[in-house]
């Protein structure tokens, strides 16, 4: 298990302050089978089923667990407050340069605290660290909160925003990640001139 505080990459000072980790919040990298993931999947399944009128648990099990592990190009993160999972999300390998976000979730008792933004930002940071240059995702037409989240965090909609979302189906978004630039080591200082010994 990997633990880290949520410190996404370069941002303005205001954005950094807004997303800097609050006391007691920690990101952990976990496997899908981790018991702490169960509340995430259970609530997602219940919410999707309520919104779309069909059992969504099969959709949540659509991808093999291995796709959300580092050896397969993916990751699953939980945001913990103390020991309690309050938000989470994942990505899987979409293609050689693209990560696909999946399962972005905030516990129903902890919404309207900006936690989903923290999760998305941390997933982007992790994707960039693993060499991805683009993030792709889809969200459902009956999830206006998710649509608003992605528009607010800089994602480009790949669909006609004037159209009725119900006529489109899954709504695709993308975001290009800034390349991670390695800072070159400073050049060694030139040697100081020797004092003249000429008389």
Query: Which tens digit of pLDDT belongs to each residue from 37-70?
Result: 998 888 988 988 899 888 777 777 889 999 999 9
Percent share of the chain, pLDDT over 90: 64
Residue 23 pLDDT level (bands cut at 50, 70, 90): low
- pLDDT for residue 21: 52
- pLDDT for residue 180: 60
Tell me if 67 sits within 8 A of 92, measured CB to CB.
Answer: yes
If we measure between CA atoms, which residue out of 2, 8, 36 comes closest to residue 21?
Answer: 8
- pLDDT for residue 24: 85
Tell me if 138 sits within 8 A of 42, measured CB to CB.
Answer: no
**pLDDT for residue 140 is more than 50:** yes
Phi, psi of 50, deg, nearest 5: -65, -40
In DSSP terms, 26 is beta-bridged to 80
- pLDDT for residue 3: 57
Distances (CA, A) of 53 to 15, 56, 117, 187: 38, 9, 27, 63
Percent share of the chain, pLDDT over 70: 78
**pLDDT for residue 96 is more than 90:** yes
Neighbours of 8 (CB within 10 A): 19
Tell me if 119 sits within 8 A of 8, measured CB to CB.
Answer: no
pTM: 0.79
Mean pLDDT of 5-12: 40
- pLDDT for residue 197: 46
- pLDDT for residue 59: 75
């Amino acid at each position: 298990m990997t633990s880290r505080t949520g410190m996404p990459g370069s941002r303005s000072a205001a954005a950094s302050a807004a997303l800097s980790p609050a006391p007691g919040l920690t990101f952990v990298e976990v496997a899908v089978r981790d018991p702490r993931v169960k509340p995430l999947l259970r609530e997602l399944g219940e919410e999707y089923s309520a919104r779309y009128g069909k059992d969504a648990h099969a959709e949540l099990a659509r991808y093999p667990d291995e796709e959300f592990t580092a050896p397969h190009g993916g990751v699953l993160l939980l945001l913990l407050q103390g020991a309690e999972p309050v938000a989470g999300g994942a990505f899987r390998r979409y293609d050689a340069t693209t990560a696909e976000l999946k399962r972005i979730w905030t516990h129903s008792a902890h919404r309207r605290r900006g936690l989903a933004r923290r999760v998305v930002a941390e997933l982007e940071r992790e994707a960039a660290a693993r060499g991805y240059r683009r993030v792709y995702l889809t969200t459902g037409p009956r999830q206006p909160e998710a649509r608003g989240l992605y528009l607010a965090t800089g994602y480009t909609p790949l669909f006609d925003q004037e159209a009725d979302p119900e006529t489109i189906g899954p709504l695709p978004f993308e975001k290009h990640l800034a390349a991670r630039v390695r800072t070159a080591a400073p050049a060694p200082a030139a040697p100081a001139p020797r004092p003249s010994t000429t008389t």
